[in-house]
A and B are shown apart, each in its own frame.
Chain A
């Protein structure tokens, strides 16, 4: 599609060479039009970063100390939690405007959207519960009890299972999306915070802050099948290029593992106090939100080279799926 548009832009045969060159330039920039929706908790705002330019192009005031983020799979909406303000903000991602603010009791933190974007799941850090918000039904809420200090939330690609990190219980809770019942709880490492499910829906990965490791969980068997030793204070996990990426807060680094063999591959130095991790739609790039240094870094998921840095608002958390693919 991009190639066709660029081709059409050439108005004469003499222009064709130029058009082709342009097309190649566009195609070689992976996911050039992607955007990052970065919650800047200290700034009380959402920083929207143009990932082709690696530049913050818009700042949306959110309030309530925004932390969690989920961009819907179709890129139409972004959902932001404000744990201090006790609300979730629904953002029209294309127009970068606030559509609605939905009150959620307790401390809304982790958030994930169902694959069809019709429901969002919000972890209430203080209320030992996961809240479902039905966006097709006027924002009707129902909740299910989970463990202490519910933090990260992930939804399986088929939308049928939700996994919640029960931080202070050192456990993951499994929720059946249809019945909205807690169907299992399994012990993982100490203080799991971020949880990520792979594209195949086969495994979940929890970053365990206090045991400096990642628990690899078989979703069907609901069992920990491996534990990956990573850097100091791992916070979140992202997956791309057959690799597992882990943000180490105290290590100022990202640990990289082979997703197949689970062998450690490399440790990449990033900015200060990395928190949120997400990958581009095509999996070519890894994005790292660095809380202390107020930066978003782009890293090539294959070569592990740092590709660029963007300044964000103060205290970027970007806790969740924060990349919006715009094509």
Chain B
């Protein structure tokens, strides 16, 4: 597994601002994505019981604990492949996600980012799966992993939309999201 050396201190806002300055090559959005999906897996230990963390994760329509999110607009029946949420960010960026799976027994939640915008995240066709596992002593291991493609859909990508940039951005996103989940779940 390739892991980019990205500081966990990178915030989503910095990430968005940085990526927004990138030039997007004209015509690059013709193909949906290329031939090589990428994978990023991040985990964190949360000092809260799995049930409590799952209640936060499973509530797909109310994920306002995510960093940078001002409010969430949910639509569709609250079941996989129908439930959608729009994450309205402080800087007016809107990220739309579709629920793809919710397994209470295995404590797994999956969603797909709808409508790629490499200015917001320099990656495409992003699908995430969050999995919780009991870690003993009333703690929870939370894993946030994703499958995605680099921002440039063809081969020979420009440096600002290559695999490394996509991996770094997604890694930073996962770390920020897990940190927010941990903070929320550990609130007394």
Contact = CB atoms under 8 A, between A and B. Distances in A.
Interface of A: 41-42, 65, 67, 83-84, 86, 106-107, 109, 125-126, 148-149, 167-168, 191, 232, 250-252, 272-273, 291-292, 314-315
14 contacts: A67-B36, A83-B155, A86-B155, A109-B35, A126-B154, A149-B31, A167-B32, A191-B32, A251-B101, A291-B39, A292-B39, A292-B129, A292-B147, A314-B39
A232 B36 contact: no
A125 B154 CA distance: 9
Given A84-B36, A232-B81, A126 B155 contact: yes
A218 to B, nearest CB: 28
Residue among B37, B110, B145 having the largest count of chain A Cβ atoms under 10 Å: B37
Contacts of A65: 35-36
Q: Which 5 A-B pairs have the closest CB atoms?
A: A83-B35, A65-B36, A250-B100, A109-B35, A107-B155
Contact of B32 (A109, A149, A272): A149
Contact of A107 (B2, B34, B145): B34
A67 B32 CA distance: 18
Contacts of A167: 32
A89 B154 CA distance: 21
A252 B110 CA distance: 11
Contacts of B39: 42, 291-292, 314-315
A292 B38 CA distance: 10
B108 to A, nearest CB: 9
Interface in B1-42: 1-2, 31-32, 34-39
Contacts of B1: 42, 314
Given A86-B155, A315-B39, A232 B129 contact: no
Contact of A232 (B35, B80, B155): B80
A86 B37 CA distance: 16
Interface in B88-110: 100-101, 110
A291 B101 CA distance: 17
Contact of A291 (B80, B100, B147): B147
B77 to A, nearest CB: 15
Contacts of B32: 149, 167-168, 191
B127 interface: yes
Given A42-B1, A83-B155, A84-B155, A250 B127 contact: yes
Contacts of A315: 37, 39
Nearest to B41: A292
B106 to A, nearest CB: 10
A84 B35 CA distance: 8
Given A41-B37, A109-B35, A232-B81, A252 B101 contact: yes
Interface string B145-158: 10100000011000
Given A42-B39, A67-B35, A191-B32, A272 B129 contact: yes
Contacts of B31: 126, 148-149, 168
Contact of B36 (A83, A106, A273): A83
Given A86-B155, A314-B1, 9 more contacts: A42-B39, A67-B35, A125-B35, A126-B31, A126-B155, A167-B32, A168-B31, A232-B80, A292-B129
B28 to A, nearest CB: 12
Nearest to B1: A314
Nearest to B163: A84
A266 B40 CA distance: 32
B147 A106 contact: no
